[in-house]
């Protein structure tokens, strides 16, 4: 049955239209492209990137490496201009790349859980360091994978873009969370994971973490992963919680890679910037369908894979 569904707390609607869609096996991707002759992110080519910012080593070699983006979207100048309806400022901030593995043909889902923990530790280190700049209000941590996911290089990596503003999506979640808490006394995301952990959209759960297909999913096979404890930022996690969270990431990505042959995707982290409260979580968005006129003109998305079907597909291999 086709139906309209509203996001848990945002005034954002989707159309779940399974009759227009395909079976999960119909989304299987073509084989991954071969490794290019020269990869700037591979060991031995460190001199081709801007000077290194940070690294995590194991056995005398780097396993996670951070450096500035060679073609940054940001600049060092900071000031703001207003002129009636027009408001602009230089794109002040920081744009960094985190190479998640030295091995070119490994995806994030191919890594063992301990290695994924190191990747998230690097995220946490960079967020802490960049946040020292008082002009920076939010550090966007996101991953593009595959051509349709927006990746220009095939070596598995994450990007950080720090800006002097809080993204609208994050601010909308913060405001909606505040309103929900005023009315109920609870954090909405705490209530969301408790609700979803009891139902058919739950994919994976352990003592510390829940992964589920959100009720009003916008993307085919969309997944949210969140800690059970109310945490504002990644650095608030204990070692056990971070290992649990990384385990959930591993299980979700490995299942998708195994069943759909490394499909394109994005993921992005939402956390509470200074002075605000928001339940930390990761949103995982496979890029298996294209947005068209309805999506761009109305921001109402047609999703042809229901979250219930998506959750069933994940659970069959986890």
Strand 13-16 with 3-6, pairing: antiparallel
Q: Which domain holds residue 201?
A: 3-315
Contact 216, 5 (CB under 8 A): yes
- The radius of gyration of the chain's CA atoms, rounded to the nearest angstrom, is 20
Q: How many residues does the chain have?
A: 318
pLDDT in tens, the chain (318 residues): 799 999 999 999 999 998 765 655 555 555 566 667 789 999 999 999 999 999 999 999 999 999 999 999 998 887 777 777 888 888 999 999 999 999 998 999 999 999 999 999 999 999 999 999 999 999 999 999 987 787 878 899 999 999 999 999 999 999 999 999 999 999 999 999 999 999 999 999 999 999 999 999 999 999 999 999 999 999 999 999 999 999 999 999 999 988 888 889 999 999 999 999 999 999 999 999 888 898 899 989 999 999 999 999 999 988
Q: How buried is 119 (Cβ within 10 angstroms: 0-12 exposed, 13-18 middle, 19+ buried)?
A: buried
Question: For residue 37, what pLDDT is reported?
Answer: 77
For the chain, the domain total comes to 1
Q: How buried is 232 (Cβ within 10 angstroms: 0-12 exposed, 13-18 middle, 19+ buried)?
A: middle
**DSSP structure string for 260-271:** HTS--EEEEEE-
What is the CATH number for 152?
Answer: 3.30.428.10
Beta bridge partners of 268: 142, 283
Question: For residue 19, what pLDDT is reported?
Answer: 73
Question: For residue 8, what pLDDT is reported?
Answer: 98
What is the DSSP code (8-state) at residue 39?
-
């Amino acid at each position: 049955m086709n139906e309209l569904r509203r996001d848990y707390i945002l005034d954002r609607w989707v159309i779940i239209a399974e009759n227009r869609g395909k079976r999960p096996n119909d989304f299987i991707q073509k084989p991954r492209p071969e490794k290019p002759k020269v990869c700037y992110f591979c060991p031995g080519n460190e001199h081709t990137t801007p000077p290194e910012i940070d690294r995590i080593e194991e056995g005398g070699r780097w396993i996670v490496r951070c450096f500035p983006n060679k073609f940054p979207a940001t600049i060092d100048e900071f000031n703001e201009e207003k002129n009636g309806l027009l408001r602009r400022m230089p794109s002040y901030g920081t744009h960094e790349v985190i190479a998640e593995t030295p091995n070119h043909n490994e995806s994030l889902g191919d890594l063992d859980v301990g290695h994924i923990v190191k990747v998230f530790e690097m995220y946490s280190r960079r967020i802490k360091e960049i946040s020292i700049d008082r002009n920076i209000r939010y550090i966007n941590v996101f991953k593009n994978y595959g051509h349709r996911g927006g990746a220009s290089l095939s070596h598995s990596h994450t990007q950080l873009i720090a800006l002097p503003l809080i993204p609208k999506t994050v601010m909308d979640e913060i405001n909606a969370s505040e309103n929900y808490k005023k009315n109920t006394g609870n954090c909405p995301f705490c209530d969301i994971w408790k609700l979803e952990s009891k139902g058919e959209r739950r994919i994976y759960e352990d003592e510390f973490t829940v992964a589920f297909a959100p009720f009003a999913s916008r993307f085919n096979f969309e997944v949210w992963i969140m800690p059970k404890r109310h945490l504002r930022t990644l650095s608030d996690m204990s070692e056990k919680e971070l290992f649990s969270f990384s385990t959930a990431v591993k299980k979700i990505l490995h299942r998708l890679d195994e069943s759909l042959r490394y499909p394109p995707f994005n993921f992005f982290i939402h956390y509470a910037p200074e002075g605000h409260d928001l339940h930390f979580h990761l949103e995982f968005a496979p890029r298996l369908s294209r947005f068209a006129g309805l999506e761009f003109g109305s921001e109402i998305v047609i999703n042809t894979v229901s979250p219930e079907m998506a959750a069933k597909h994940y659970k069959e291999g986890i």
